[in-house]
Chains A and B, each alone.
Chain A
């Protein structure tokens, strides 16, 4: 059959479904049949699954014209999804097509949720198409004879590639594909991505720079233009609207008419804690919604989540309070309206969420922005412009992730074993490891075999062994089992399951939250007030509680930063506050705050850099306003604190948000000295930043992930109590011993590299400082906190830096007495 005839099969089937193929779908079929690799840029709910799956099936028909009588069993295609929740929908779509055209291809799912007996059956006989996650793919690479299993695979499709790209799961995919390229010579590699700033780079990362696949690849864009309408919820009484906060409950009453006027509304919150609170408060104030509203976030048990998803589809719910857990995935046709509570911190995320509404052709997406404090209205105004300009952020790929490499090489050693010289070129062909040197590779090989760089007497380190012929292999069953349990790059705190005393699973919760509670304490979880009974074997046993007030788990995370584009829009918006015309209605609503800011300090213009100082009961505050986004402020705050701390011994508590940062101390900073010493200079930026990192906690936090991914810290699994008690230790302790005893360890060094590249965005910091150098510094010595300073000085998540002697600091402090 030629290509035309093949495409007819698909077109005919589309017709029986009452559909017409989109241009991007036909282009993808053609490209796939031509043997090309590529990246498809298409949004959720656009028919992207059929763009690739149809191509794969048509290619199968082409290669096996006698498929009806001579179907050969075995794995032919792999579909990677970042969320296991999406796998069922993909399976249904895939089966619908092959059943429709009567091709005997089978579809199977293999994720962390797949039952053991199904997995065992799959190992014996793989389905033709396997839908799986990056982690489960690596688990397959950790099983014996994986090369035989994968040898006839003709396609791997990485769905939602944009979600993986800027994370270590992306690196995991790069490495997995690099191995598959060798064991499956007919492999074609495709990614599907929503719109991001760096689509071309996304394709290069997926396929490997300068690889044959990259040379023979295409980027196909669906170009489905979607109209998005952004509306801000502006408080009726601005005067009483708070200056700080992150919950947004003041506007709860404004939300209710929106919910009532729409078929289904999704309310996106930024953290799970916020999600829990909103859900409870809506029900408290509007009990008539009982049964019509639901909650959806990552810690709620799977059955409840699936029930909620079905209920949205069946239009039995008026509203769902959710987190990013509903960012991705299948269409929810009844969803007409989206409400974003608090800043989404990213244009791409905001647009993605908006796109969850108004799915019918011709309909526009409607998203409301609900500010949680006054200054956030500036953000609302800037977001509207960003949506119009489509200022979408890049997803920055990781480079030289030695922790993921350690894990990957151990994986290969667990299954078939490997010869280092065979694998080196494969690893080097990936985007992540394109600059990997032989020395670094040798370091990693030494690390996994002797746990050090030189052999020591009496050492008993044991994971990967080097066999007589030079093969690297794990022969200990215990090591292999622990490694399999630990495969993956998503690191969270130890997770404990929450259960009723009488039985009944409620969900999972991070250990550190539970560790703050005592038996008898009441906390809110999954929309209920629960009393902690006891904690046993990684299980949290609870009873229902009728008590009204409760502690809400404050999940970490959700602290995103503005992109440089968004920060620029935000600055421009703010500068407008000084202008006499051209103000949006959001800015107009803020006029009384601007007046007060103006009265007590200034509203900086484009050529001004504002510093405010004032004293409160808490100490001496110095607030700096670069308006460059949270991450740049985190870097600049640490840098400046470090440089000031060189002038004389001093301790700082540093807070930051997207507008600026605060240095708080028990001593007054001599601001004139700061200005005279030119502490904003870009000279020695890198080395000063590096030294400031040593003094703060940032790198320590990054190290936690690295320690788990590389297997230094063993976390085990929920529900599987392993005899690991003597192996328990905190990553903090690991960080300390590496710092004190092995500071040149590449994994330890990674913590700093990652903080530089992904947290502090050194490049942006440099640009920001160059911009500041062109501005006039305006230092205002204020009498009290100004409106702009309020959200910053009340932020509780803080960094510390000190140049005082530990003993001197201790002598100034007091013990926290038990309340």
Chain B
């Protein structure tokens, strides 16, 4: 497994193939768009998505937590896909097994009452400001500040000679913004228009690759 390193304003970040990003100075793990509960939501509505995908989400969370052992985990929104369902029980158990503090920046999918999160001692906020970095769910631009966000589920289309092409999830870093890929196992990706000067880090099963 190979991660990639990145600096933002002299701060050290480590990008993980799962789509999570670790902030070394703050001992903080950032994870965007897990969409827990989505599988159950689909199943509840008669769409038989394999149940083992649910476990996969938690396995991934455990793996990345074990790798970085952060003091804090911050979810950049869309942690839970829809209304309360039985996956909440599994999520509660997972939260209790964590020693890290958990913060949720509310996303558009997060419709579950903040009170439910507070019961689990999860802090729910609209955004988070740390030094000159501000963390949000929806990407936002503010003068003089660097934004870290999710929501987009970024992916890129790559082309090579001999008519080769493929799409892959990625981290996208612009001059004043970084967008994380979606972490969940049952989430799609949105193919981005890449602009000159953007830094792209493609995510594969076991490697993060800087493309440009």
A721, B87: Cα distance in complex, Å? 28
> Which one of B82, B159, B204 contacts A814 once the chains associate, using CB atoms below 8 Å?
B159
How close is B54's CB to chain A, nearest CB, in angstroms?
Answer: 9
B164 at the interface (CB under 8 A from A): yes
A632, B161: Cα distance in complex, Å? 27
Residues of A within 8 A of B209 (CB): 807, 810-811
Is the Cβ of A818 less than 8 Å from the Cβ of B162? no
Is the Cβ of A479 less than 8 Å from the Cβ of B46? yes
Interface size class of B (residues with CB under 8 A): 35 or more
A546, B144: Cα distance in complex, Å? 45
A738 at the interface (CB under 8 A from B): yes
Is the Cβ of A815 less than 8 Å from the Cβ of B158? yes
How close is A746's CB to chain B, nearest CB, in angstroms?
Answer: 11
B168 at the interface (CB under 8 A from A): yes
Is the Cβ of B163 less than 8 Å from the Cβ of A742? no
Nearest-neighbor residue (CB-CB) of B87 within chain A: A458
> Which one of B45, B157, B158, B185 contacts A737 once the chains associate, using CB atoms below 8 Å?
B185
Nearest-neighbor residue (CB-CB) of B47 within chain A: A712
Is the Cβ of A619 less than 8 Å from the Cβ of B50? no
Q: How does the 8 Å CB contact mask read for B135-150 relative to A, with 1 for contact and 0 for none?
A: 0000000000000000
Give A292-335 interface residues, CB cut-off 8 Å to B.
none
B126 at the interface (CB under 8 A from A): no
Is the Cβ of B160 less than 8 Å from the Cβ of A814? yes
A399 at the interface (CB under 8 A from B): no
How close is A806's CB to chain B, nearest CB, in angstroms?
Answer: 5
Nearest-neighbor residue (CB-CB) of A452 within chain B: B51
B122 at the interface (CB under 8 A from A): no
Q: How does the 8 Å CB contact mask read for A780-819 relative to B, with 1 for contact and 0 for none?
A: 0000000000000000001010000011011111111110
Is the Cβ of A653 less than 8 Å from the Cβ of B50? no
Is the Cβ of B164 less than 8 Å from the Cβ of A653? yes
Nearest-neighbor residue (CB-CB) of A616 within chain B: B162
Is the Cβ of B46 less than 8 Å from the Cβ of A463? yes
Residues of A within 8 A of B166 (CB): 800, 806, 809-810, 813
Residues of B within 8 A of A741 (CB): 50, 52-53, 56
Stretch among A17-25, A354-362, A378-386, A725-733 lining the B interface: A725-733
B44 at the interface (CB under 8 A from A): yes
Residues of B within 8 A of A800 (CB): 164-166
B40 at the interface (CB under 8 A from A): yes
> Which one of B50, B53, B87, B164 contacts A813 once the chains associate, using CB atoms below 8 Å?
B164
Residues of A within 8 A of B85 (CB): 460
Is the Cβ of A452 less than 8 Å from the Cβ of B48? yes
Given contact pairs A451-B43, A452-B51, A815-B194, A810 touches B158 in the complex (Cβ within 8 A)? yes
Residues of B within 8 A of A447 (CB): 48
Nearest-neighbor residue (CB-CB) of B45 within chain A: A727
Q: How does the 8 Å CB contact mask read for B151-177 relative to A, with 1 for contact and 0 for none?
A: 000001111111111101000000000
A284 at the interface (CB under 8 A from B): no
Is the Cβ of A461 less than 8 Å from the Cβ of B163? no
Residues of B within 8 A of A726 (CB): 41, 81-82, 109
How close is B181's CB to chain A, nearest CB, in angstroms?
Answer: 14
A456 at the interface (CB under 8 A from B): yes
Is the Cβ of B162 less than 8 Å from the Cβ of A651? yes
Is the Cβ of A816 less than 8 Å from the Cβ of B162? no
Given contact pairs A618-B161, A651-B162, A813-B160, A737 touches B53 in the complex (Cβ within 8 A)? yes
How close is B95's CB to chain A, nearest CB, in angstroms?
Answer: 16
Stretch among B7-15, B25-33, B61-69, B195-203 lining the A interface: B195-203
B212 at the interface (CB under 8 A from A): yes
Give B48-105 interface residues, CB cut-off 8 Å to A.
48-53, 56, 81-82, 85-87, 89-90
How close is B162's CB to chain A, nearest CB, in angstroms?
Answer: 3
Give A576-622 interface residues, CB cut-off 8 Å to B.
618-620
Is the Cβ of A459 less than 8 Å from the Cβ of B51? yes
How close is A471's CB to chain B, nearest CB, in angstroms?
Answer: 18
Residues of B within 8 A of A459 (CB): 40, 43, 51, 86
Residues of A within 8 A of B163 (CB): 618-619, 653, 664, 798
> Which one of B56, B82, B200, B207 contacts A815 once the chains associate, using CB atoms below 8 Å?
B200
B211 at the interface (CB under 8 A from A): yes
Residues of A within 8 A of B212 (CB): 814-815
How close is B145's CB to chain A, nearest CB, in angstroms?
Answer: 25
How close is B159's CB to chain A, nearest CB, in angstroms?
Answer: 5
> Which one of A452, A458, A618, A737 contacts B162 once the chains associate, using CB atoms below 8 Å?
A618
> Which one of A462, A742, A798 contacts B44 once the chains associate, using CB atoms below 8 Å?
A462
Sort A-B residue pairs by CB-CB distance and give the 7 closest, nearest first: A619-B162, A451-B48, A458-B86, A742-B50, A813-B158, A653-B163, A813-B160
A sample of 22 inter-chain contacts (CB < 8 A) reads A460-B43, A460-B86, A479-B46, A619-B162, A651-B162, A665-B162, A666-B160, A666-B162, A726-B81, A727-B41, A727-B45, A741-B56, A807-B207, A810-B158, A810-B204, A812-B160, A814-B160, A815-B156, A815-B194, A815-B200, A817-B195, A818-B194
Report A's interface with B, CB cutoff 8 A: 447, 451-452, 456, 458-463, 478-479, 482-483, 618-620, 651-653, 664-666, 711-714, 726-727, 729-730, 732-734, 737-738, 741-742, 745, 798, 800, 806-807, 809-818
* Beyond A460-B43, A809-B164, 17 extra complex contacts between A and B, CB < 8 Å: A447-B48, A458-B90, A482-B45, A711-B46, A714-B45, A714-B47, A726-B81, A737-B50, A745-B50, A807-B209, A810-B168, A813-B166, A815-B157, A815-B194, A816-B156, A816-B159, A818-B195
